[in-house]
Amino acid sequence: MAHQAHNIPWTVLASTLKLKTANSCQHHAQNFHVRKEPDRGKKLTYFANAFVKNALDHARCERDKYPKTYDPPADDDVVISDEVAKTIEPTVYRWRLYHDAPDEFDTVQEPKKHGICQHMKPDETCQCPLPFKERKMSAFLNPHTYNSCYEFYRHNRDGFFNLEVVKSLLLYGEMDTILRVCTAEYIDLENWWEQSQCACMQPDLGWDKICRLAIDSYILLNLIQCFSETWDNAGTPSDAYTSIKAYQYVVRHCTKSGWTSDIATYPHRQFFGIEKGQFKSYPTPHDIGRWGHLLEGKYQDMTYYPYGLMPYQAFLEFEKPMGYQPHATDVTHVQWILCQRGLPPELADAILDEADYTPKRRLRVADQPLHPENRADLESYLKYCWQLIVRCTMMGQALGMDMELLLGNMIRLSIGDLFICKCAKIHHWTFDDKDRDLLVFK
């Protein structure tokens, strides 16, 4: 059963689509195709408005769990508590390693096992993942500054560092901290919602990505469950849906590497079992003999990505071979084997750490989110995606942003990216002039 089925009309969205094994307008890929019906626009409008309303309602309910008002913190106030710092530090360390170039962030050391950063003097050398100074309100007051090409880190390094901290807080649901910093007079997080390194690059580093990737995956996984074609004769989900173009698009789009910031991909990589670098922003096929015809021009860019034109395993290895992604139970089993051979637990753990044999996927049955044995993990993941949407909505509202408009825009883009084709342009919409609450697809 789809998540939030009582509030979000998934069957209405499904009624506008047909699942076809081949679509001539999509390079003959297996995918959903928009039905040519006169009331299609009304149905999409109804779905989008219901989705937005539900997100706003949930954000309102979640906001009621926190103080109605906060006193704006002073610049020198420590707004990230020791407890919150310990919670987010592993994730901060993860993205610090991602930004290890000399012109990005400073060198970082592994988190300390028995404490957090204690470098409280401004002139102290600090290589802690989350420096003490970054926990102060002053760190949240770095505005986004316009910059020329290749000068992003020169002008926006400090602000971008803090933005990554804010994203980490969103992932862990530390909304009390976020709501408090949003009361500051000179906070500029609204301008970090959708940003790029420069004007000629795609916006790939804002905190909007946390919300957008969650929406893409949330819509697709809920929608698939509405189609009987994805179930076998016994009423059990089959794995046929993994070859659908929209499904493969979501898996790659929500997990690919190469963005300026990849924090938004972390929960989706874990769920789908995709390691860093498996998919890239500028892809080339691993099997040139089969897919070389897709490359053209001086820079050998791909004319299109062949989603829905290959089985799921071939899709996973389209850009590079994929190694085995261990589940937590695999790691525990290997630990047991090593200890049974006489190794002390400490040495067994050290061997696994050195081999990087750590849990890389969340699903017990790999690559099949709808498998009955994965049901609990699927429900947990969908709930988490919804929480990310609600958290971003809460934060935006705290900053005075028009989240109704922004969420509506994201849903419009998501539906367009998932189901757009040459003969069905469904991604244009506007607000009705007479009724601002009505989102109209055209």
Q: What are phi and psi of 34, to 5 degrees?
A: -70, 130
CA dihedral of residues 220, 270, 326, 324 (deg, nearest 10)? 60
pLDDT of residue 115: 80
- Contact 431/439 with Cβ under 8 angstroms? yes
pTM: 0.91
Whole-number Å distance between alpha carbons of 224 and 370: 9
Low-confidence ranges of the chain (pLDDT < 70): 1, 114, 230-238, 299, 424-442
Q: Rounded to an integer, what is the distance from CA 406 to the centroid of its chain?
A: 17
Tell me how crowded residue 8 is: count the other CB atoms within 10 A of its CB.
21
Residues 6+ apart with CB under 8 A from 204: 196, 259, 260, 261, 281
Predicted local distance difference test score (pLDDT) of residue 295: 85
Per-residue model confidence (pLDDT) at position 237: 55
SS3 301: strand
- Residue 38's pLDDT is 85
Tokens linked to 145: 């500054």
Q: Which residues touch 366 (CB under 8 Å, ≥6 apart)?
A: 273, 325, 327
Residue 22: per-residue pLDDT: 86
| Buried b or exposed e, range 206-218, using 16+ CB within 10 angstroms | bbbbbbbbbbbbb
| pLDDT tens digits for range 53-65 | 999 999 999 999 9
Quote the CA–CA distance of 8 and 27 in Å, as a whole number: 32
Output the pLDDT for position 409.
Answer: 93
**How far is Cα of residue 114 from the mean position of the Cα atoms in its chain?**
31
Distance CA 400, CA 394 (A): 10
Which residue reads 């000629």 in tokens? 200
End-to-end CA gap in the chain = 30
Supply the pLDDT for residue 439. 46
